[in-house]
């Protein structure tokens, strides 16, 4: 998916830019993409890598929309980490999903009082927000999972609604967890379970095609993207191999997969803006994703165009 980003000066909300090259945005560093197809548009959500120092420096999330994957409109900041009053900050990875005309934003933040990362959920009537905390408390905290060796093991929510209406949330670092969500999308419904996948690091993403469930994730560190397939959302998951190679000079590699207007897109980040880009100054890229006849996925060909 190519383009020459002509957006180097874009800074104002509701401004339109053309993205014809990877990285697709060059006016800001953008990380941890998640995407939602709603009606005739794609909504692309990303964390804002503010580039103020080494290490993650992320306070806000960003939202862009497009009718064609090339012309993008940047909207007002839809959500900030501190909009969760119980959070200390840190706008890490998130995903937005629609249910019954409402948009639910599941996000990783640092909890103010329960040590470690936590997952919150915000809600809006519009895919571009503004979003408001839907619970007033975290949905998932570091003390709810048994794997408490690291403070950032409850991160990177991925939410999936199956054809029968049952919603699931997957998340984790090192250990991959999942649980059912109630119809209200703001409460867990039942036990937290774990899935074992080779070299799971973080960044799960779940999608479904032709009766197959796909679970893609960041693999090892520095991260590649790998994936597994299953005939059931509850597994067993069969590891299918590497999907995307190391993301250049970014240690992390964080993907979203969507179908839009007849094509499948693989949306990820790298450190591609040079000079300046890197592990904490990341940029969203988009390439095509293609399937084999048996439903397995061809390796992503990363392009600069
Ligand atoms: O952006 C902060 C963290 O880096 C995310 O939550 C991870 O997926 C990794 O990309």
pLDDT in tens, the chain (305 residues): 333 333 333 345 567 888 889 999 999 999 999 999 999 999 999 999 998 888 999 999 999 999 999 999 999 999 999 999 999 999 999 999 999 999 999 999 999 999 999 999 999 999 999 999 999 999 999 999 976 678 999 999 999 999 999 999 999 999 999 999 999 999 999 999 999 999 999 999 999 999 999 999 999 999 999 999 999 999 999 999 999 999 889 999 999 999 999 999 999 999 999 999 999 999 999 999 999 999 999 999 999 87
Evaluate: CB of 254 within 6 angstroms of ligand 1: yes
- Phi, psi (deg, nearest 5) at residue 144: -85, -15
Q: Kindly report the protein residue whose alpha carbon is nearest to atom 3 of ligand 1.
A: 92
How far away, in angstroms, is 251 Cα from ligand 1 center?
10
- List strands edge to edge, sheet with 176-181: 158-161, 167-171, 176-181, 193-195
Contact 221, 208 (CB under 8 A): no
- The ipTM assigned to this model is 0.98
Q: Candidates 252, 268, 269, 280: which one to mutate for ligand 1, based on the most atoms within 8 Å of Cβ?
A: 252
Task: Find out whether 246 and 21 touch, Cβ atoms under 8 Å.
Answer: no
> Rg (Cα) of the chain, in Å, rounded?
18
| Residue of minimum CA distance from atom 8 in ligand 1 | 203
Q: From atom 2 of ligand 1, which residue's Cα is the shortest distance away?
A: 92
pLDDT computed for residue 19 by the predictor: 85
Sign, Cα dihedral of 213, 217, 219, 225 = positive
Residue 271 near ligand 1, beta carbon < 6 Å = no
pLDDT at 149: 75
Ligand 1 near 156 CB (within 6 A): yes
CA distance 13 to 23: 19
- CB-ligand 1 contact for 252 (6 Å cutoff): yes
Q: What separation in Å is there between the alpha carbon of 32 and the centre of ligand 1? A: 6
Which pTM does this prediction carry? 0.94
Element (H, E) at 89: strand 87-89
Q: Closest ligand 1 atom to the C-alpha of 202?
A: 8
Q: Which helix (H) or strand (E) holds 150?
A: none
User: How far, in Å, from the CA of 164 to the mean position of ligand 1?
Assistant: 31
Residue 94: partners with Cβ closer than 8 Å, 6 or more residues away: 32, 34, 45, 47, 61, 105, 106, 107, 108, 157
Mutate to test the pocket of ligand 1, among 203, 223, 256, 281 (most ligand atoms within 8 A of CB): 203
Structure tokens given for 226? 């790998």
Alpha carbons 48 and 280: distance in angstroms, whole number: 10
**Count helices and strands in the chain by DSSP H and E runs:** 0, 22
CA of 294 to the centre of ligand 1 (A): 32
Angle at 253 between CA 251 and CA 258, to 5 degrees: 170
With a 6 Å cutoff on the Cβ, whether 28 touches ligand 1 is no
Tokens 């049952």 locate to 166
């Amino acid at each position: 998916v190519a383009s020459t980003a002509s957006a180097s000066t874009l800074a104002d909300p509701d401004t339109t830019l053309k993205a014809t090259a990877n990285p697709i945005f060059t006016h800001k560093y953008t990380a941890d993409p998640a995407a939602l197809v709603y009606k005739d548009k794609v909504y692309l959500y990303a964390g804002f890598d503010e580039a103020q120092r080494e290490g993650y420096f992320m306070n806000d999330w960003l939202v862009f929309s497009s009718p064609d994957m090339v012309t993008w409109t940047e909207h007002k900041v839809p959500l900030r980490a501190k909009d969760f009053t119980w959070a200390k900050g840190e706008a890490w990875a998130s995903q937005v999903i629609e249910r019954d005309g409402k948009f639910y934003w599941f996000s990783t933040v640092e909890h103010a009082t329960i040590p470690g990362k936590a997952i919150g959920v915000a809600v809006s009537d519009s895919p571009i927000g503004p979003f408001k905390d839907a619970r007033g408390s975290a949905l998932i905290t570091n003390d709810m999972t048994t794997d408490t060796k690291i403070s950032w093991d409850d991160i990177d929510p991925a939410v999936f609604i199956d054809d029968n209406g049952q919603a699931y949330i997957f998340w984790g670092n090192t250990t991959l967890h999942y649980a059912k969500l109630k119809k209200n999308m703001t409460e867990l419904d039942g036990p937290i379970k774990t899935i074992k996948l080779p070299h799971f690091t973080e960044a799960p993403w779940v999608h479904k095609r032709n009766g197959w469930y796909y679970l893609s994730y960041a693999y090892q560190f520095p991260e590649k993207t790998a994936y597994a397939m299953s005939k059931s959302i509850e597994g067993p998951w069969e590891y299918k191999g590497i999907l995307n190679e190391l993301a250049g000079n970014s240690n992390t590699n964080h993907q979203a997969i969507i179908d839009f207007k007849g094509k499948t897109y693989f949306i990820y980040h790298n450190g591609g803006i040079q000079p300046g880009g890197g592990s904490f100054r990341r940029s969203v890229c988009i390439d095509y994703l293609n399937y084999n006849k048996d439903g397995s996925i061809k390796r992503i060909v990363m392009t600069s165009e």
